[in-house]
Structure 1
Amino acid sequence: MLKKLPKENMGSSNLGWLESRFHFSFADYRNHDNVNFGVLRVLNDDIIHPKSGFEMHPHHDMEIISYIVDGELTHKDSIGNSQTLKRGEVQYMSAGSGIIHSEHNTSSSDDLRLLQIWIVPPKKNLQTLYGSYEYKKEQRENKLLHIVSSQDGSAAVKLHQDINIFVSELEEGKILEFHINEKRQVYFIQIEGSSNVNGIILNYGDAMEGTKEMILDIKALQKSHFLFLEMLDS
C-alpha cells in the first residue's frame, strides 16, 4: 500500500534564520496522529540562512542523520569533533547516554539545506557514535547509493538500528528498481525534481509511505534527487 504525503499537508515553521518542513510532529507542529513511521521519529527539511544555526544543545537515546542537500554544514560537539560537510555528504550520531553539539551555516551569502533524520535506537544507553562520510556525486548518479545501514549492513555509515537509507540523483527518463523484502517498509522523500514511483507522481518536497509493497519502480520525470528509508514493518 502506498500513501502520498504532499508537502502542503506537512507542518512548517519560519523563525527568520531557519525555515523548516516537518514530516512528523515536532516543535510547534503538534500532531498526535503523525508522530512516527516505524522507527523513523523525525524528518525535518531545514533551510538555515547565512551566518546562523543551532547553538550547542543536547541529544540522548536517538540516532541522528544529517544529509546535506545544498550549502555547507559546520558541526562541533562535546566529544571533540569539528568539521564542515557539503552536498551529498552525511553526518551521523548515535547519541546514546548523551552528547552536546552545534550545527551552523557559516557562509555569509549561501543558504544551507539539509534533511535532519532521527531514528529511535533499539534500546537506551547504547554506545555513543559519531562520524561522517564524504560521498561523491558519481556514487549516486543514476544508481542507488546505500548511505546508511545497521552495524551488520554494508553501508559506510552504520547505526545501531536495523535501518537502511538510499539516495540517488536520477537523470530525466532514467528508471531504477528497488525490491522490498517481506515485513519491511519504506519512507520516500522527493528532495528535488519529480519522480513517478509505482504510478504515483512525487514533486519537490513530497513524501510517500510504502507498506506491504514488493518493489519500488522509480522513474525520473525530470532530473530527480530522492532519498528513502527501508526498515521493519511496524
Structure 2
Amino acid sequence: MNPILHKNTSRGLADHGWLVSRHTFSFANYYDPQRTNFGLLRVINDDIVKPTMGFGTHPHENMEIVSIPLSGSLRHQDSMGNKHIIAAGEVQIMSAGSGLTHSEYNNSDQEDVNFLQIWVFPKKKDIEPRYGQLRFESVDRINRFQTLVSPIRSDNTIWINQDAWFAMADIQAGKEIRYEKQMKGNGVYLFLIEGDVAVNDFFLKRRDGLGIEKGDTIKVLAETDAQLLVIEVPMT
C-alpha cells in the first residue's frame, strides 16, 4: 500500500449545532468507500462540543475507544460504575469488550471542549469491559515521542487490547525526530494536531493525516512548532 494522504479539508463534516465533528474515516452519515479504515484503525473524530452539551448514554461493544482532550474537559459516566473528569493532558480508553454503555458531556458551562475520539478494532473479542485514564506531562514529549497507549501493561502508559501504540510529540520548529515502528508489519497513521511538518516526501498542515505502511523508520521535520499524534496498528 502506498502512503495515503488525507487533507484536513477532505474530512467528513457533521454540524449538529451543539457538536461539530470532522471525520477522517467514514462515520455515521459520512461515507466514503475509500476511507473506511487504515488497517485496524477505524475512527478518528475531531469533536468540538458546546458548553454543558454532550453524548447521552449509548452502547458500544468489541471496540477499543480512546479519547484525547485537546482543550477543555469531558465528564464521563459508564455502566462499569466509572464517573470521571477527563481534561486536556489526559488520555482515556474504554475496552468495550462484551458490551457497555457510557455518556460524555462537556464539563464546562462556559467553554467548548475539543477532543479526539479514536476507535481501534480489538485483538480479542468479548473481553470483560475495562476503563483506563492517565495524565501525561508535556515536558516528556518535547522533540521526542511520548508513548501514550501500548499493548504492554505498564503504569506509564494506557493498556489497549490490540498490538497498537499511540505516541505524541511536541516538536520545535527546525527540529527533526524519528518514529521507530514497534512491531514489524504494522502500519503507522500520523495525525498532525497543530503546526506544519514534513514527513518523508509529504508536507502536512494542521489536522492533515498520513498513513504509511512500508518502512520501519519515519522522519519528521517541523517547519513550525508542531504537535503530532502517531497511531501504529496492525494492517490486518
User: TM-score of the superposition, structure 2-length normalised?
Assistant: 0.94
Do the aligned partners of residues 130 and 225 (structure 1) sit closer, same or farther apart at CA in structure 2, a change above 3 Å counting?
Answer: same
What is residue 122 of structure 2 aligned with on the other side? 121
Q: What is the aligned counterpart of 2:210 among 205, 208, 211?
A: 208
Q: Deviations over 1:14-41 (max 9, x none)?
A: 1001111101110110222321111111
The aligned runs of 1:71-150 (5 Å cut-off) are 71-150=72-151
What is residue 4 of structure 1 aligned with on the other side? 5
The aligned runs of 1:183-202 (5 Å cut-off) are 183-202=185-204
* Alpha-carbon contact 2:18-2:50 (below 8 Å) kept: yes
Partner SS state of residue 150, structure 2: strand
Alpha-carbon distance in 1 for matches of 2:42, 2:201 = 27
Aligned length: 234
Letter in 1 for 2:71: D
Letter in 2 for 1:106: N
How big is the shift at 1:3?
A: 2.3
The aligned runs of 1:3-42 (5 Å cut-off) are 3-42=4-43
Alpha-carbon distance in 1 for matches of 2:220, 2:125 = 36
Q: Deviations over 1:187-224 (max 9, x none)?
A: 11001111111131111110001011232111111110
Deviates most, 105-114 or 157-166? 105-114
Partner SS state of residue 162, structure 2: coil
Q: Deviations over 1:119-175 (max 9, x none)?
A: 111232112110100111112222210000114678520111110111111111121
Alpha-carbon distance in 2 for matches of 1:88, 1:223 = 18
Alpha-carbon distance in 2 for matches of 1:224, 1:197 = 12
Structure 1 stretches of 4+ moved >3 Å: 151-155
* Alpha-carbon contact 2:85-2:107 (below 8 Å) kept: no
How big is the shift at 1:233?
A: 3.2
Partner SS state of residue 139, structure 2: helix
* Alpha-carbon contact 2:149-2:166 (below 8 Å) kept: yes
How big is the shift at 1:2?
A: 2.3
* Alpha-carbon contact 2:151-2:164 (below 8 Å) kept: yes
* Alpha-carbon contact 1:173-1:222 (below 8 Å) kept: yes
Letter in 2 for 1:196: A
Q: Name structure 1 gaps, 5 residues minimum.
A: none
Partner SS state of residue 26, structure 1: coil
* Alpha-carbon contact 1:22-1:43 (below 8 Å) kept: yes
**RMSD over aligned Cα atoms:** 1.6
Letter in 1 for 2:225: K
Letter in 2 for 1:194: D
| Identical amino acids, percent of aligned pairs | 36
Alpha-carbon distance in 2 for matches of 1:166, 1:184 = 14
Partner SS state of residue 17, structure 2: coil
